[in-house]
Amino acid sequence: MPAYQARPALNIRCWACREPSRRTWMCSEELAATQMSVKELKIALDDRGVSWRGVCFERTELEAALTRAQEAGPGSEADDAGRQEDLGGEEGASASVKAASTLADEEARYAAAYEAGLARASCLRVKEIRTELAARSIGWATLFEKSELAATLAAAYARAALFSSSGALEPGSARSLNAEQLRQEMQDGRTPMLLDVYATWCGPCKLLAPQLEQLAAELGSSCRVAKLDSDAEPQLSTELRVAGLPTLIFLRGDGSQLSEAFRVEGVPGNAAALRQLVVQHLEV
């Protein structure tokens, strides 16, 4: 596929000259990923045949994916296909078909979630969109059009919908859940979950809180980090056999639901020790 090709008129700027008049990709130089808007990043990835839906949720992830594609140069997709063929025989073909099917399902789910999120975000005022983005620690200072703000918020909505079955959790953040939300999350075994059962009056729980936030930021979409207030949800705390606070429960998914892999009471040393427990018991 050529590096650039003419497209129908679109309301975005040319990558190289940044002029909106012609709105084509026929310029001789390609901008770095960091110089493109989110919309331009997505179009550039599509042009290169790089899948990003359901995979890249943040601007930084889109930039990284495009940078890798730019560095790989033309033919990288063919090389990937060749490596798939090296798997050989029916086993390799079966693995390829399964991977393609899974990716297609993820892309379809993301597309549906994004469209729903875009409809929801478009109904908000600009100030409301910016407030929601700020609450999610998503920068909006470089987004000037409402359409760009709405698209960014829609991506955040879609990310939450795919990552969390209850919609209450987001990648990179530790959130408190009520009993109904936690039960719903535990029926979703697509990604593992670290659960912190705490109390607002508990001193060690307060010490653990910043470690959980740091860990959640490091884990991103590979693991859900949830919290449960034992005083607000005593029945569920009893069902979870919580005897001391804080209690960390490591839940591993099998694709359909979660099951307990390990638990520890108290603060497990420092952030590095907590991260090691996650690696050991949740394999992320």
Q: Is residue 233 part of a domain?
A: yes
118, 216: one domain: no
For residue 51, is pLDDT > 90? no
Q: Is residue 191 part of a domain?
A: yes
CATH value at residue 249: 3.40.30.10
53, 103: one domain: no
- Of 79, 70, 20, nearest to 47 by C-alpha is 70
DSSP E strand boundaries for 13-114: none
109, 18: one domain: no
96, 154: one domain: yes
Q: What is the pTM (predicted TM-score) of this model?
A: 0.57
Query: Mean pLDDT across the chain, nearest whole number?
Result: 79
Q: Beta partners for 260? A: 251
**pLDDT, tens digit, 9 for 90 and up, residues 228-278:** 999 999 999 999 999 999 999 999 987 677 889 999 999 998 889 999 999
5, 69: one domain: yes
For residue 84, is pLDDT > 70? no
Q: Is residue 54 part of a domain?
A: yes
For residue 139, is pLDDT > 60? yes
Residue 259 is part of which domain span?
175-282
- Of 33, 11, 37, 36, nearest to 24 by C-alpha is 11
Q: Is residue 170 part of a domain?
A: no
132, 230: one domain: no
Q: Is residue 238 part of a domain?
A: yes
For residue 45, is pLDDT > 70? yes
Of 58, 86, 114, which residue constitutes the final position of a domain? 86
CB contact at 8 A, 245 and 236 = no
**For residues 5-26, average pLDDT:** 38
The backbone torsions φ and ψ at residue 124, rounded to the nearest 5 degrees and listed phi first, read -90, 155
Would you state the pLDDT for residue 5?
36
Instruction: Give Cα 203 to chain centroid, integer Å.
Output: 31
For residue 96, is pLDDT > 90? no
Q: Beta partners for 195? A: 226, 249
157, 196: one domain: no
Q: Just list the catalytic residues.
A: 202, 205
How many domains are there within the chain?
A: 3
Q: Is residue 169 part of a domain?
A: no
